[in-house]
Amino acid sequence: MSSPSQKIVRPARNIRGSVRLPGDKSISHRYGMLAGIAEGASRLENYSTGADCASTLGCMRALGVKWERKNNCVEVEGRGLTLSAPECALDCGNSGSSMRMLSGIVAGQKFTSEMTGDESLSRRPMERIIRPLTAMGAKITASEGRPPLRISGASLHAIDYKLPVASAQVKSCLLFAGLFAEDETRVEEEVRTRDHGEVALRAFGAQLTRKALGGGDEVRIRGGQRLHGIEARIPGDLSSAAFFLCAAALFPGSQLTLPDLLMNPTRARLLDILMQMGLRIAVTQLEQVHGEMVGSLEVEGQALKGATISGSDSAALIDEIPVLAAIAPYSEKGLEVRDGKELRVKESDRIAAVAANLRRMGAQVEEREDGLSIPGGQALRGAEIESYGDHRIAMAFAVAALRAEGETLIRGAEAAAISYPEFFQALERVTER
């Protein structure tokens, strides 16, 4: 038996079955925030079950937004753009998304908010939102650019801002702040990142304009726009699906169905890479819901080849690189990851965490400042793995363990609940031994 904080994963013979994923984390955060500042009620079906998205709802409640969870639905009573001053610090837990995106909303309020987080979040860089929000007129104090943040809201003025790091969280933060600014805010990104903020703003009734600029985008939003509530079903989380897709990729002859999954093109690079690595993927029932593409996947494992992830792909695959790296030793040619230095400032230093855990399983791996080089054709053995409190590391190595020789013990396995509390049970259901 494994205790709540550790899990034992035994090797598998095959992966077969169907998994319905909880609602996408990126969309749930944005819908949770925008529903709070919309006018009227919203009904958000299949809202993420993860602790991170619960942190967002907790902060919204502290800002005076009433909501209720009914089964897998969150019903929110929107307050319009004016929130109420919180009586305590806004606790973002482990969630960088909650802190960075909500900063854009509290920066436009007439009160001061304190935003805090757990030990991991307290180490993460916030300068990337502090600088532009300060340029818009908010007053923000932080120690060396890290949480806790103290944000004194103001009447914001629009900015024209080019993102210095490829970050959808920062882009959404500034577009949300743009709602509270006079005139038009313009955000430019050199590398296109996930566009859920833009899509969600439109779903809630805001108007914005987007223009492709080279490999990136420019987005403009006018301040003072009022949002309206929506009734929506949030599609299954593609980054959580990545663990099952990679598990299936490990076993030639595996068969997996993933219904009702997010298929947003800015997130779907994962599917291209996995197909390149040999996984057969068919997309069915593709439709658009509130501006987001949704579809079902049928996948079948074949011999696993290698891949290289670099340039804009590293930003597009930032959340999936840990699990792609965890299966890489079993592939024919291995995996090269370059241009991924953002991996070092996620919930853990994901380059170091992946390298250390692969070595514990007996793999050879080369760690670089901005990536990893993992040779293929390696057999791994079960080992004691450390999650470093990072949900994606815990789940990535549960997948690697399926093809290892002997059992693997995942320490800090409870971290999976940050994005996907039901992960270990769901993995067990599709694993054949």
Angular region, 287: left φ>0, alpha ψ -120 to 50, beta rest:
beta
Instruction: Please identify, using beta-carbon distances, which residue of 129 and 363 lies nearer to ligand S3P.
Output: 129
Catalytic-labelled residue, pool 319, 339, 349, 390: 319
Name the minimum Å distance from CB 129 to ligand S3P: 10
* Per CB under 6 A, 97 contacts ligand S3P: yes
Looking only at the bridges linking them, the beta strands covering 255-262 and 73-79 are: unpaired
From the list 150-158, 164-172, 274-282, 289-297, the region that binds ligand S3P by CB under 6 A is 164-172
Q: Please, which of residues 342-361 interact with ligand S3P by CB under 6 A?
A: 342
Q: How many residues does the chain have?
A: 433
Alpha helices by DSSP H, listed for 261-406, are: 269-276, 312-316, 321-327, 350-360, 391-400
Give the strand order in the sheet containing 208-213: 160-162, 184-189, 216-222, 208-213
Active site residue 319: yes
* Per CB under 6 A, 391 contacts ligand S3P: no
Choosing from 55, 169, 314, 431, the residue that interacts with ligand S3P (CB under 6 A) is 169
* Residues 377, 302: Cα–Cα separation, whole Å: 15
From the list 58-66, 167-175, 393-401, 403-411, the region that binds ligand S3P by CB under 6 A is 167-175
Name the minimum Å distance from CB 200 to ligand S3P: 10
* Residues 228, 35: Cα–Cα separation, whole Å: 8
Choosing from 7, 194, 391, 403, the residue that interacts with ligand S3P (CB under 6 A) is 194
Distance (Å) of CA 351 to CA 73, 248, 393: 36, 23, 10
Distance from chain centroid for Cα 86: 26
* Per CB under 6 A, 189 contacts ligand S3P: no
Q: Are 250 and 330 in contact (CB under 8 A)?
A: yes
* Per CB under 6 A, 167 contacts ligand S3P: yes
Q: Shortest CA distance to 99 belongs to which of 113, 109, 112, 110?
A: 113
From the list 146-154, 162-170, 260-268, 298-306, the region that binds ligand S3P by CB under 6 A is 162-170
Instruction: Please identify, using beta-carbon distances, which residue of 55 and 97 lies nearer to ligand S3P.
Output: 97
* Per CB under 6 A, 55 contacts ligand S3P: no
Choosing from 319, 336, 386, 390, the residue that interacts with ligand S3P (CB under 6 A) is 319
* Residues 3, 275: Cα–Cα separation, whole Å: 36
Please list, in sequence order, all residues whose beta carbon lies within 8 angstroms of the beta carbon of residue 425, skipping any fewer than 6 positions away.
none
Q: For ligand S3P, what does the binding mask look like between residues 24 and 53, x meaning CB under 6 A?
A: --x---------------------------
* Per CB under 6 A, 90 contacts ligand S3P: no
* Residues 279, 299: Cα–Cα separation, whole Å: 7
Instruction: Tell me the site size for ligand S3P, rule CB under 6 A.
Output: 10
Where along the sequence are the contacts to ligand S3P (CB under 6 A)?
26, 97, 167-169, 172, 194, 318-319, 342
